[in-house]
Structure formats: structure tokens, C-alpha cells
Amino acid sequence: MVADKQKVSRLLKTARGQIDGILKMIEEDRYCIDISNQIMAAQSVLKKANGEVLKAHLEHCVKEAITQQTAEEKLREVESIIEKLL
């Protein structure tokens, strides 16, 4: 992985902390809307982490494959990820 490992790790640890907090909120029978807001916040952090990984993949792995004229497989991978994101 060529993404900024510290940044991605920090984001994922933040999401983990948020998920632990959400589980505690559920155990405490907290208000549904508050729980939903926290779930959306965790999703946002996960999306940001995923964006960092994908950005690094495009900037390094895909660019390298293009220069080596082996881009077909990398482009299919990116297409597959885009389909999943949509």
C-alpha cells in the first residue's frame, strides 16, 4: 500500500472509536436519531480513509502500470471499485 499509512491508520482508528461509541449508545438505549448521526459520522470517516487509499492507488499503482503499458488490469480494478461505490 502506498497511501499515507499514518493518515489512513488514524482515520480507521477514529472510525473504530466511533463504532465502539455507537455500540455503547445502543447498550444504553440512546435516542435513535443520535445513534443514526453517529453511524453516518463513522461512515464519513471510512469513506475518507477509502478515498485516501484509492487516491494513492491511482497516483502510484495505476500511473506505474500506464508507463509500463500494463494498465488494462489496473483499469478493470478501478472500474470494479467505481461500480461498488455507485
Percent share of the chain, pLDDT over 90 = 92
pLDDT confidence band for 52 (50 / 70 / 90)? very high
pLDDT (tens digit, 9 = 90+) per residue, 20-50? 999 999 999 999 999 999 999 999 999 999 9
- The cell numbers describing 36, all together, are 443514526
Question: Distance from CA of residue 86 to its chain's centroid?
Answer: 14
Domain of 80, CATH number, reads 1.20.58.1000
What's residue 50's pLDDT?
96
pTM score: 0.85
Q: What are phi and psi of 60, to 5 degrees?
A: -115, -65
Q: How many domains does the chain have?
A: 1
The domain of 12 spans: 5-85
**How far is it, in rounded angstroms, from Cα 57 to Cα 25?**
36
